[in-house]
Amino acid sequence: MRLLEEKIEKDGKVLSEHVLKVDSFLNHQIDPSLMNELGKEFAKRFANEGITKIVTIESSGIAPAIMAGLYMKIPVVFARKRKSLTLNEDLLTSTVHSFTKKETNQISISNTYLNENDCVLIIDDFLANGQAALGLIDLVQQSGAKLAGIGIVIEKSFQDGAKKLKEMGIRVESLARIASLSNGEVQFIKERVEELV
């Protein structure tokens, strides 16, 4: 998605060969117009899949997930990383390790909001090693729901998360795919455009 790539080029900051900082528009300060376009694109890519719920993880996946939910006219459920006094029974839980934050969290969703009648689209901000995605997939599987696929805002294609998920037979749609963050530069994977005959 060229609009997203341009935003990353303009406002993203490469902190290392593995870390891209996008907190000016995605995961601290949020650009609502950009989120609107991301939501529209996810809705287009996953149209006609019979999706009934979008599942994400707090907090950076919430904004693009909500906009996709708006276009798809379906609810968004987010997995919580912290215990809540009001979210304490009938929980689906999984464990997720964040390499960026160097912490492990137990994530949870109430099974009131996710069950075997649902068809789920998972949306998240980043895909690197795939740990958050695997934790969310685990919750979906525990609920008995069907997984339609995973929508990712930014995929670090030089890490093995997308490969792992695709080897599991899971559809992954990433709006921006980064080939490298070497030398302080963002290099995108250029999608092959099929020639019209």
**Does residue 115 carry a pLDDT above 80?**
yes
How does pLDDT run across 155-171, given as a tens digit for each residue? 999 999 999 999 999 99
Q: Residues 6 or more apart from 61 whose CB is under 8 A from it?
A: 78, 123, 124, 125
| Distances 184 to 12, 20, 107, 148 between C-alpha atoms, Å | 11, 9, 33, 35
Which pLDDT belongs to residue 103? 83
The whole-number average pLDDT for the span 51-71 is 96
**Does residue 2 carry a pLDDT above 50?**
yes
Which pLDDT belongs to residue 192? 55
Which pLDDT belongs to residue 190? 82
Which pLDDT belongs to residue 134? 97
**Percent share of the chain, pLDDT over 90:** 82
Q: Which range has the top average pLDDT, 100-104, 106-110, 144-148?
A: 144-148
Domains, the chain, in order of start with CATH, read 2-147 (3.40.50.2020)
Q: What is the mean pLDDT of the chain?
A: 92
**Does residue 197 carry a pLDDT above 50?**
no
> 3-state DSSP: the chain helix, strand, coil percent, rounded to 5?
30, 30, 40
**Does residue 86 carry a pLDDT above 90?**
no
Kindly report which listed range (3-7, 34-38, 73-77, 96-100) carries the lowest average pLDDT score.
Answer: 96-100
Answering whether pTM is above 0.75, one says: yes
71: part of which helix (H) or strand (E)? helix 62-72
| Band of residue 88 on the pLDDT scale cut at 50, 70, 90 | low
Given a contact cutoff of 8 angstroms between Cβ atoms, the answer to whether 151 and 49 are in contact is no
- For 108: left if phi > 0, alpha if psi spans -120 to 50, otherwise beta; the answer is beta
Given a contact cutoff of 8 angstroms between Cβ atoms, the answer to whether 183 and 8 are in contact is no
